[in-house]
Structure formats: structure tokens, C-alpha cells
Amino acid sequence: MRASGHKGDDDDRVFKALASPLRRRMLDALKEAPRSTGELCALFPDIDRTTALQHLRVLEAAELVTGRRIGRERHLSLAPLPIKRISDRWIGEYTRAAVDLLGRLDES
């Protein structure tokens, strides 16, 4: 986990990273399988490599992607824990609140 330890900052980075359709497509590609940086960039021929790498830096800053060197290649993997944290904190709580509300309406 990031040294700041402040969940709000971490959540902001995750939401910022997920705000971009291209970054979400990159995460979808990494969800299918880990890939080298070159392989991932090749999946997005409509953007240049520099732009793809900038998007990857945002994903890494949000800790949604991890990278490790294997020889000359950098291999990237999806790191799903930040998304789970967002889901647990935001989506899960709102779902419970909606279910509670529906339950109270049924009782009326």
C-alpha cells in the first residue's frame, strides 16, 4: 500500500484512473492476461506509445497495475485490490442502503 496511507487520496487516484475509457480498456486487457508493455501498447494502435505509457503511469499511481522487469521487458499485471476497496466502500454500502430502503417500503 502507498506510504501516504490516506484512503481518500488513494480512492481519488483510483477514480481518476477509472475515469478514462482508454485506461478502463487497458485494465480489461490486463484482466484477461498479464502482458508486456509492448504487447499492451500493440492492442491500442490508435494511440502512440508515449501516450499509452502516460496512461499506464496513471494506472500504476493508482496501484491498479503492477509491473516487473523480466530481462529487457516490463511485464504488467492487474492489481484488483483498489477496485475491490472502492466496491466495498462505495458500491457495497449504497447497495445495502438501497436494499434497506426497499425492505422498509415493503413493510409499509
Q: Is the CB of residue 58 less than 8 Å from the CB of residue 64?
A: no
Cell of 11: 480512492
pLDDT tens track for 44-88: 999 999 999 999 999 999 999 999 999 999 999 999 888 888 888
Res. 16: pLDDT tops 60: yes
- Phi first, then psi: what are they for 78, rounded to 5°? -75, 140
87 grid coordinates: 466496491
**Per-residue pLDDT at 90 exceeds 50:** yes
- Phi, psi (rounded to 5 degrees) for 69: -85, 135
Please give the domain boundaries of the chain with CATH numbers for all domains. Answer: 7-80 (1.10.10.10)
- Phi first, then psi, for residue 5 (nearest 5°) are 70, 0
Mean pLDDT of 7-30: 92
Which is more confident, 36 or 105? 36
